[in-house]
Amino acid sequence: MPPEKRKLKEVFMQSRSNVVYENWKVYSQQGKLMFRCNEKKAQWYLKRQLATCLPETRAIQLTFKAKGDGHRSDDYMVEDRVNACVACASTEGLTLHHVVPDMYRRWMPLVIKSKSSRDLLLLCKHCHDRYERDATALKKQFAKIYDIPLEGKGWVQVPENREARKAASALLRHPNIPEKRREELADIVKNFQKPEWADWDWEKILTTCCELKDQFQGPDFVEHGEYVVAQLMKSQEIREGKTVWPDLEIFVKQWRQHFMDHLQPKHLSERWSVDGDIYTH
């Protein structure tokens, strides 16, 4: 059984510096703009003599032949990006939002998750919290479709821990409990008490009981995202000599479309597309 359900709380999102996109340009040996990066990455290339600086502001040219040709000249990934919320254009309290939630993407093949910056978009805290409610609703739909709770599956319950934790918590937090009830609660804790606690004072015993976990992940536990992605990866095929996963492609595009439909980001580049590249190969 999954752990006790609790009311969803607003997720704390640490805001980033107002300058997230530093818009360094990276050119190939042939002079083709391949991709954008931040200053840290540009300096990484320069310090290893893998690139040289160009006269153009914030631009470097690789000194080696890259494996691929980079992005198309009209692709979203090579354009200048604005450090502002893609929904309301605010420049305050910005957060990087995963269009495809990390709980799923982390379990995807490396050729999908290793280069996920296309699906990392800037939102202010207000717009992020507003959309997150809609995103949670879609996650719940997938929980029903794949019969896997958001909390994961394979929890082992420890009812005796729960009983002792509740009794100890009541004793610590509610000093005005009637004496008879206090004795009943104290008996629960005493009956639970471990031999190694024999020399502990009563306060420490109560505090320890309050920290007890009443469920743990069993040997067959599986996370929600892990299970869903595993189902989506059951179908695979070879396309142009590369392994691809059609159901995963649909899943990624579904999240992208959901983001567009529910948040309707008016300040997102027209080059950003639901059908944009998914794989790095």
Inter-residue long-range contacts of 227-235, CB under 8 Å, 24+ positions, other chains counted: 227/146, 227/148, 227/152, 227/153, 228/104, 228/142, 228/146, 228/148, 229/104, 229/107, 229/108, 230/107, 231/146, 233/109
What is the pLDDT, as a whole number, of residue 14?
47
Q: Which residues contact 105 (CB under 8 A, 6 or more apart)?
A: 98, 112, 113, 116, 119
What is the pLDDT, as a whole number, of residue 18?
66
What is the pLDDT, as a whole number, of residue 113?
87
Nearest to 97 by CA among 76, 118, 71, 75: 118
- All residue ranges of the chain with pLDDT < 70 are 1-18, 281
Instruction: Report the distance separating Cα 3 and Cα 246, nearest Å.
Output: 33
What is the pLDDT, as a whole number, of residue 17?
56
